């Protein structure tokens, strides 16, 4: 069975979508002109919903896509995908129309919601940690697009193509200067003494909502949370390293290149904080 | 009347598309995971069709999207959009499915064709030349994505947002090192003595089919065609400068910053070559 057939409740602009459903003229398709969010829905409800919405609005402002938040949030409030465990994906595009790249006279933004089953990641990703592939694909720099979760994701698609099969569970991606940015679909943290560092997202990369939440929680727990520069060497030399996103939570790194490590205490603390807040 | 309502013959996968029509799960929407071509259809038929197809296939190979060319070209052969003057847009995406960024188990590529009226550009663009806006948006470097016409076009959308109204007809876009790459929706040429230079498309930018054809024709005409480096200063100091694409042909530059120029003889020669080959 293909992934496609598992999609529940496809909605477009507040109503169940007809088969197919999206206009061939939508600028989300034509130019990747929009943003998205992927929201875990656990037994305790949507996870980090307000942070997801904050980033969505930040992305829309950055692209100068005007949306009525009252309309969007009333559609989200009645969306049945939030009534079951799984993952809800929200896409907001600039809508159909305009003339070429110009946005003048384009239609109102398109709101697309879909609901997907809980991801079936092996439990050992969480329990023992993951094996990380060193991606050759570099992220290019573009300050105005950095941080937001826009629909131009070919760099991630190319990076993800670099490995196949079950040997690796994530990839480590560098910027064009050779510094660590993130995983292909996660953010990354390293720990050195009481400092918990994640790469600053200024030139490229996605500012993940779980990354944001963990930075706050580590401060509460007495750690020194830092957004800064991370070299591949310091990734390897740190006391610990782990990945996170808002769908799976926290995965320790078990293997990278010739190195293997056991899951460390800060990764376990992060997992505990996440599971105490939400039933992931 | 919006642009959207002027679309004729929306086809998906070889058949007329139902209203709406595209799956919300298509990777073209989710990630910009695909390529496109915009083909002028003049009274003499499709313009530069074989070069458009060559670039389409090159882009698909670069993204590792496998398509059956016999199927695609048989669909194109029966597409009614090529039977009338205007513009045909072809989009090919990796299709629906896969799991996250991974392409494993994704569906066959989606082929989307739409037909649009001839663009209504003012005739003075062609006759007197255009006024060019100096865009602040820079194109980021990514060798693997350079040259192909992929669906990740947010940089072009951002650049095009920098001006509104009728004062400017194109924008000049630089790379992150401050070198000239192209226009927002065109390629650019400058002339100095018998040398006709267009920026090399190695790190970023689109390798336009009209650019390709003009390079060949200039060689035939005894000029020295060069793909090389172009600084903004050399853009201004050249004997001539003009933009081109396969939809409008060739537009001389009339104004850029504080400078104005009359249309030069090489731009006029380029326009003549284009109009002799096709009735643009």
A110-120 per-position pLDDT tens digit: 999 999 999 89
Nearest to B152 among A97, A152, A159 (CB): A152
Pairing of strands B130-139, B249-256: parallel
Q: Kindly state the percentage of chain A with pLDDT values over 90.
A: 89
Best mutation site among B1, B3, B33, B161 for testing chain A: the one with the most A CBs within 10 Å?
B3
pLDDT by residue, tens only, chain B of 280 residues:
344 457 899 999 999 987 668 999 999 999 999 999 999 999 989 999 999 999 999 999 999 999 999 999 999 999 999 999 999 999 999 999 877 999 887 789 999 999 999 989 999 999 999 999 999 999 999 999 999 999 999 999 999 999 999 999 999 999 999 999 999 999 999 999 999 999 999 999 999 999 999 999 999 999 999 999 999 999 999 999 999 999 999 999 999 999 999 999 999 999 999 999 987 6
Q: Report the candidate in A206, A108, A102, A76 with the shortest Cα–Cα distance to residue A152.
A: A206
pLDDT for the residue B19: 65
Question: CATH for A3-116?
Answer: 3.30.470.10
Question: A20 and B25: CB-CB below 8 Å?
Answer: no
From chain A, the residues in CB contact with B157 under 8 A are: 27, 31, 33, 63, 94, 101, 103
Structure tokens belonging to residue B109: 């590529």
Q: Which of A7, A28, A156 lies closest to B101 in CB terms?
A: A156
The whole-angstrom distance between A135's CA and the closest CA on chain B is 14
Answer whether A64 sits within 8 Å of B161, measured CB to CB.
yes
Residue that has been written with the tokens 């105490």 in this structure: A276
DSSP letters along A194-214, please? TEEEEE--SSSSB--HHHHHH
CB contact under 8 A, B141 and A144: no
How much is the pLDDT for A1? 33
Contact A63 B154 (CB under 8 A): yes
Nearest to B154 among A22, A137, A145 (CB): A145
Residues of B with a catalytic annotation lie at 38, 149, 182
**Spatial distance between the Cα atoms of A158 and B142, rounded to a whole number of angstroms:** 11
In the prediction, which pLDDT does B3 show?
A: 43
Radius of gyration of chain A from Cα atoms? Answer: 19
Could you identify the residue written with the tokens 């947002």?
A: B161
CA distance B81 to B116: 8
Q: Which residue in chain B is spatially nearest to A164 when comparing CA positions?
A: B104
Q: Where are the domains of chain B?
A: 3-116, 123-277
- Residue B94 and residue B65 in contact, taking contact as beta carbons nearer than 8 Å: yes
Which position has the token pair 């918990």?
A: A196
Q: Note the pLDDT of residue A242.
A: 98
Which one of the listed residues A149, A170, A179, A198 is annotated catalytic?
A: A149
CB contact (8 A) between residue A3 and residue B156: no
Quote the CA–CA distance of B89 and B114 in Å, as a whole number.
5
Please answer yes or no on whether B33 and A102 come within 8 Å at the CB atom.
no
Closest CB to A101: pick one of B28, B145, B160: B160
Quote the Cα angle for B119-B124-B129, to 5°: 105
pLDDT of residue B205: 98
According to CATH, the topology of domain A123-277 is D-amino Acid Aminotransferase; Chain A, domain 2 (3.20.10)
Q: Closest Cα partner for A183 from A215, A202, A208?
A: A208
The per-residue pLDDT for range A243-278, each reduced to its tens digit, is: 999 999 999 999 999 999 999 999 999 999 999 998
A214/chain B closest Cα distance in angstroms: 23
Residue B22, Cβ density class (10 Å: 0-12 exposed, 13-18 middle, ≥19 buried)? buried
E-only strand ranges, A176-272: 180-183, 187-192, 195-199, 224-228, 240-245, 249-256, 259-260
């Amino acid at each position: 069975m293909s992934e496609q057939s598992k999609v529940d409740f496809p909605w477009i602009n507040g109503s169940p979508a007809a088969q197919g459903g999206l206009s061939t003229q939508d600028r989300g398709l034509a130019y990747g002109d929009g943003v998205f969010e992927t929201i875990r829905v656990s037994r305790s409800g949507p996870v980090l919903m307000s942070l997801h919405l904050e980033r969505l609005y930040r992305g829309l402002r950055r692209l100068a896509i005007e949306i009525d938040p009252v309309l969007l949030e009333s559609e989200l409030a009645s969306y049945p995908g939030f009534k079951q465990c799984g993952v809800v994906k929200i896409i907001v595009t600039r809508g159909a129309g305009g003339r070429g790249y110009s946005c003048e006279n384009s239609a109102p933004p398109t709101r697309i919601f879909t609901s997907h089953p809980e991801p079936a990641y092996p439990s050992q990703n969480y329990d023992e940690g993951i094996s990380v592939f060193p991606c050759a694909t570099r992220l290019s720099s573009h300050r105005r697009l950095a941080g937001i979760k826009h629909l131009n994701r070919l760099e991630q698609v190319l990076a993800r193509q670099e490995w196949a099969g079950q040997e690796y569970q994530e990839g480590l991606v560098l910027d064009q200067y050779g510094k660590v940015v993130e995983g292909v679909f996660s953010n990354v943290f390293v720990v050195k003494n009481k400092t918990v560092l994640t790469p600053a997202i200024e030139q490229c990369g996605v500012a993940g909502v779980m990354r944001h939440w963990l930075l706050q929680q580590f401060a509460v727990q007495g750690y020194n949370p830092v957004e800064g520069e991370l070299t591949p060497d310091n990734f390897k030399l740190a006391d610990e390293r782990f990945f996170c996103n808002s769908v799976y939570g926290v995965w320790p790194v078990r293997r990278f290149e010739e190195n293997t490590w056991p899951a460390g205490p800060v990764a376990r603390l992060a997992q505990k904080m996440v599971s105490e807040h939400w039933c992931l």
